[in-house]
Amino acid sequence: MEKLKIETLQKLCKNSNIVWSVHALERMQEREISKSDVLNVIMNGKIIEDYPKAFPYPACLILGIDSSKRSLHVVCGSKGTIVKIITAYYPNEEKFTQSGETRKESK
């Protein structure tokens, strides 16, 4: 499987080809993360992990900044015609470096 490209995801978002999973919407509400923050991460962030074998289509983890200047992670997948938002969360400093960019090794 091919890795997702941020430019492809950005183009799909610009064209409003977005599907929000129920899981993502529930978690975003719990975590007080807005749709605009999620879209801003996709439009201005960078892919930090690829999941090319994810089911039902390739996915990735994107790091960006929310409206209050906090690091925010967005997991999304794409089959080329839509972007599916899988979840969004603030990186946990136990699992990621302070910048949220690098996953710490499991102990």
**pLDDT digit string (tens) for 47-83?**
999 999 998 889 999 999 999 999 999 999 998 899 9
Among 58, 53, 64, 54, smallest CA distance to 89 is for 64
Residues forming beta bridges with residue 18, ordered by sequence position: 83
Asked whether the beta carbons of 92 and 84 are under 8 A apart, the reply is no
> How does pLDDT run across 8-42, given as a tens digit for each residue?
999 999 999 999 999 999 999 999 999 999 999 99
Q: Rounded CA gap, 47 and 76, in Å? A: 10
CA distances in angstroms from 105 to 49, 60, 94, 95, 97, listed in the order given: 14, 19, 10, 8, 10
Asked whether the beta carbons of 72 and 49 are under 8 A apart, the reply is no
pTM as predicted:
0.91
CA distances in angstroms from 10 to 13, 30, 46, 74, listed in the order given: 5, 25, 11, 13
